[in-house]
Amino acid sequence: MKKLFLFILLLVVVYQTRPLWEENAEQYVDLSFIDVIKEQVDTVRENPAVIQAVDTVISEVGSWIGFEPDQSVVQVEKPALAVPDSQTFSVYNVQIGDARKDVEQEIGSPKRHSQNEYGVDWYAYHENYHNFLMVSYDENNQVNGLYTSHDLISSTAGIALNTPKETVRAKLGEPMDKMRKGLTYYILNETDEHDYFHLDGTYVTVFYDVHENHTVTAIQIIDDDLEASKKGMYAAESTSLKEGLEYQLFDVTNAARVTHGLSVLTWDDQVRKTARDHSLDMAENKYFDHTNLQGESPFDRMEDDGIPFMAAGENLAYGQYSSIFAHEGLMNSAGHRKNILNDDFSYLGVGVAFNEESQPYYTENFFDN
């Protein structure tokens, strides 16, 4: 039995350390057998004894060759959630109207703040992108906006992450189909990817994952007064908003990765410029494509900008009101979702530009080198 265990352990170690030796070995050996090992490893490595043994061996091997295993995927305990006491929804036990000092006493200090489409800042709270939420505050430092894509949703209606759309509508009623801004009515729910509800003096947007049977994947809650302050569906262009949308898309992308067990991406300023240039080119020249009008692909543009990469990918979005809507839409598109959840990528830069109607163009450039 001991020999069998050691043999299995050897196979697991061979697979886990594959990136260290594969490039040199593949020119001499047919490595197709590794795919068979992978199928077995996926089952075997769930055994706690195997996991502990593999970690020990990899650590020893790593010390010999100077390899440090990735520490960016960590486990963080989920907080205890209480049913909201005065509203339909809360996020991380935070409700609209709560005082900022009480919020930060409970969940700590923000990791970043950046301007959103409502002219206020989203404050991002998380532990290496675990237990991720964004909160905005009014002039009195009271909560007037909330967003999360993590299992932090609590509701008097029993709605939480992964609740089916049918259940949401059965509990909350028919979603809104239009919203008035000034003298204009804007049509809502043009897709089946999210629903709007007007509850408790707030506008609640429930996002669904079409790849997970239209179950709840995120929620945004905006106070009536904050929504009313935005006179149109799109905010006026500004440098602060551009940078805010870029960092917000980066943050919500990493938040999605950790919910799928992946490491977080590192922000890259150099490729942000590549992404910005492409967004601006599309906005100014009124097109929407990965290939620009000079026939250059994303990979051509990255090479032109001197960015070394072994693997790369690009996501584009156009016309969404915010980075939240852009991200949730990208996650519902199979090809874009694949880039967001690609374990081969290590870096990400996001570039935003606006057209004449203040509609944002979003470009995400992922890569590894």
Q: For residue 122, give the CATH number of its domain.
A: 3.40.33.10
pLDDT attached to residue 25:
55
Torsion of CA 253, 254, 257, 259, to 10 degrees: -110
Answer whether residue 43 is part of any domain.
Answer: yes
The structure tokens listed for 192 are 């089946």
Distant-in-sequence, close-in-space partners of 315: CB < 8 Å, separation ≥ 6? 330, 336, 339, 340, 362, 363, 364, 366
Residues 221 and 249 in one domain: no
Gap between the Cα atoms of 162 and 1, Å rounded: 42
Domain boundary among 196, 229, 262: 229
Q: Which residue has the higher pLDDT, 354 or 36?
A: 354
Q: Using 50, 70 and 90 to split pLDDT, how confident is the model at 34?
A: low
Q: In the predicted model, is pLDDT for residue 364 greater than 50? A: yes
Of 352, 318, 317, nearest to 331 by C-alpha is: 317
Answer whether residue 78 is part of any domain.
Answer: no
Residues 113 and 175 in one domain: yes
Q: Which domain holds residue 307?
A: 239-368
- Considering the chain, what is the average pLDDT of its residues? 86
Gap between the Cα atoms of 139 and 119, Å rounded: 12
Answer whether residue 324 is part of any domain.
Answer: yes
pTM for this entry: 0.80
Residues 147 and 192 in one domain: yes
Domain boundary among 164, 196, 229: 229
To 10 degrees, what angle do helices 2-16 and 33-44 make?
A: 120
Q: Using 50, 70 and 90 to split pLDDT, how confident is the model at 126?
A: very high
- Position of tokens 């990765």? 257
pLDDT in tens, 288-328: 999 999 999 999 999 999 999 999 999 999 999 999 999 99
Residues 22 and 50 in one domain: yes
Answer whether residue 77 is part of any domain.
Answer: no
Residues 223 and 259 in one domain: no
The structure tokens listed for 19 are 């990136």
CB of 256 closer than 8 Å to CB of 334: no
Answer whether residue 42 is part of any domain.
Answer: yes
Number of domains in the chain: 3
Q: In the predicted model, is pLDDT for residue 22 greater than 70? A: no
Gap between the Cα atoms of 349 and 337, Å rounded: 16
Residues 221 and 248 in one domain: no
User: Of 32-41, 62-71, 146-155, 334-343, which range is least confident?
Assistant: 62-71
Residues 52 and 158 in one domain: no
Residues 223 and 312 in one domain: no
DSSP secondary structure code for residue 94 in this structure: B
Report the Cα 96 to chain-centroid distance in Å: 23
Answer whether residue 74 is part of any domain.
Answer: no
Residues 258 and 312 in one domain: yes
Domain boundary among 49, 65, 81: 65
- The helix, strand and coil proportions of the chain, stated in percent and rounded to the nearest 5, come to 40, 25, 35
Residues 207 and 253 in one domain: no
Q: Which residue has the higher pLDDT, 64 or 262?
A: 262
Residues 347 and 303 in one domain: yes
Answer whether residue 76 is part of any domain.
Answer: no
Q: Using 50, 70 and 90 to split pLDDT, how confident is the model at 185?
A: confident
Residues 93 and 217 in one domain: yes
